[in-house]
Structure formats: structure tokens, C-alpha cells
Amino acid sequence: MSSNSDKPKVVIICGATGIGKTAVGMDLSERFGGEIIGADSMQVYRQMDIGTAKPTPAERRRVVHHMVDVANPDEDFDAVRFSKQARAAIAEIIQRGRMPFVVGGTGLYIKALLHGLFQSKPVDPAIRNRLQQEAAENGSGALYERLKKIDPDTAGRLHPNDAFRIIRALETVESTGRAISNLHQEHGFAEDPYNALKIGLQMDRRELYERIDRRVDLMIAAGLVEEVKQLLERGYHAQLKSMQSIGYRHMVEFIQDKLPWDECLRTLMRDTRRFAKRQYTWFGADPQINW
């Protein structure tokens, strides 16, 4: 933990997808009288349960979970909103004499919670609308290639299909004349409101990838295809930020006959493994994590 013992204490459990963060967080919360703050950018969305590996109702009865099911799939939700709501939940947990356990694999959300995040001025809606129209007509890949030229640092952290964040980065450049990566660096993430103990989970990379493949099979068996069909039927279209996430965009492409089933599964497993690798890189750069 940090040296300032007067600050509120929080425990961070982080690591790659599929590594077992939920189970460890549950065990520690029960042992030390804690409650869980979910740090997962997808588990915040209601009606998206299977593809997000959301804690089950039984698990949520065992340990109180916060920051799960707090937004609809078509709502804007980002690290700034997460930080604000999670900090409020932590204050309530501590006030009740409980221990907050922040459990999840979304590194930016954890960073925003612990150190704050740069907040830009509102963007001209006309710029955003134009970029969204370009993405709809030409695909997010074209915008991604543009971003690689003007802000390669940000592009290197994004998936070419992540239209929401690609547009966010491009509109920042057009509105401010500066790359969002430079603005973040200037901000410095200097806030330090907590005495935080960071615990990172790791295992043999090959074993983790095997776990990821099995997890995909379990999600399919649990009804992931039907979950995505129901989301589409409720009007949550494929271009939403939430629907562009791993698993959901793959199922949409299969449902819309853009991808055969075998290829859908292959790319889903591949992209999940790649995502885990990016998480390892992100968390591996944090010297405060105890592995």
C-alpha cells in the first residue's frame, strides 16, 4: 500500500480476462468483510450478462457487488463516469465499516478511479456526427488508419473495430488540435485519494489461453447467441459501443450472415486471447502491482 495510512484503504484485484479475478475477489471479500466494486467496462451494462461473464445472482447474494448493471446498452459510459460512481460506492462501503475490493480487468477504469482522468471540453456535435457518418459508410477501419497517422500512441491501444473510442480520439484532435494521448500525459494522473494495495493475478500464458477457449465454449452453451439476438430485437443496434465489444460484435456478424459459425468462434477466441495479451501489457507497466 502507499505510505499515507490516513487515506481510505482499498484493495485492487486485477489481471487478464478469464484468469479468475471474480473467484479471488469473492473469497477475499468474504474473508475480510468486504464488498466488490466491479472494474469491468462491459459488466456495467444491463441485459448483457453471458458475454460479459457477469457475476451470477448466487455470487451477488454471497457478496455485495457495485458497478454492475448501472447503465443501459445504449448509454454513454466511460472512465470518468465510472470513477465518479465507484468513488461514491467506496465511500459508502467504508462508512459501513466494510472493505472495498476493486475487482476487474479494465485498466483505464482502475487508473481513473485511483488517479483521476483528463476531462476535455465538450466536442462540437457536428464533428462527432460527421465522424459517425463516416464510420457508418466506410467502416471504423478507415478511421482507425487515419488515427494511426495523427495519434499512433492512442491507436496502438485501440482495436480497429472500436468505433466509439476511435471517433473519440479523432474528434479530440479536430476540436483541440492536440492528440488525446498528449492531453492524458499532460494531465499526469496526479490524484491519489486512496491507500491502495494492488494485487495482480497471473498464470502460464498457454494455460490462460486454454481457459479462454473453454470459457468461450461455456458462453456459447449458456446462450450467448440468443442473448445477442434479444439485444438486437430490443433495438440495440450493432454500432453501439457496447455491441462493438468482444463477443457481441462476433455474434452480430454471425447473426447477420456476415461470418460463418466456425469462423465466428475462431475469431472470437483469437480476439479474446489478444485482448488478454493487451491487458498483460497494461498491468505489467504498473510497478505498484504485487503479482
3-state DSSP call for residue 45?
strand
Residue-level pLDDT at 163: 84
Torsion-angle region of 10 (φ positive above 0: left; ψ -120 to 50: alpha; else: beta): beta
Phi, psi of 65 (to 5 degrees): -115, 140
Distance (Å, whole) CA 220 – CA 216: 6
Domains of the chain, residue spans:
9-118+189-203+280-290, 125-185, 205-278
Superfamily, domain 9-118+189-203+280-290: P-loop containing nucleotide triphosphate hydrolases (3.40.50.300)
Residue-level pLDDT at 190: 63
Give the sign of the dihedral formed by CA 233, CA 234, CA 239, CA 245.
negative
Residue-level pLDDT at 119: 58
Phi, psi of 277 (to 5 degrees): -65, -40
Residue-level pLDDT at 118: 62
> Which residue from 199, 178, 189, 190 is spatially nearest to 104, judged by alpha carbons?
199
Distance (Å, whole) CA 155 – CA 153: 6
**CATH number for the domain running over 125-185:** 1.10.20.140
DSSP 8-state secondary structure symbol assigned to residue 244: G
Distance (Å, whole) CA 119 – CA 222: 39
- Strand 65-66 with 99-103, pairing: unpaired
Distance (Å, whole) CA 194 – CA 83: 13
Torsion-angle region of 184 (φ positive above 0: left; ψ -120 to 50: alpha; else: beta): alpha
3-state DSSP call for residue 290?
strand
What angle do the packed helices 224-233 and 248-255 form, to 10 degrees? 80
Cα 150 to Cα 171, 174, 182, 187: the distances in Å are 12, 10, 11, 20
For 76-112, give one letter per residue: b (16+ CB within 10 A) or e. Answer: ebbbebbbebbbebbeebbeeebbbbbbbbbbbbbbb
DSSP run (H or E) holding 107? helix 107-115
Cα 225 to Cα 17, 49, 150, 237, 265: the distances in Å are 20, 12, 37, 15, 11
Q: Looking at the domain covering 205-278, what would its CATH class be?
A: mainly alpha
Per-residue pLDDT of the chain (291 residues; tens, 9 = 90+): 444 568 999 999 999 999 999 999 999 999 999 999 999 999 999 999 999 999 999 999 999 999 999 999 999 899 989 999 999 999 999 999 999 999 999 999 999 999 987 655 666 788 888 988 888 888 888 899 999 988 888 888 787 888 888 888 898 888 878 887 777 666 445 678 999 999 999 999 999 999 999 999 999 999 999 999 999 999 999 999 999 999 999 999 999 999 999 999 999 999 999 999 999 999 999 999 999
Cα 241 to Cα 11, 27, 42, 45, 76: the distances in Å are 29, 32, 10, 11, 8
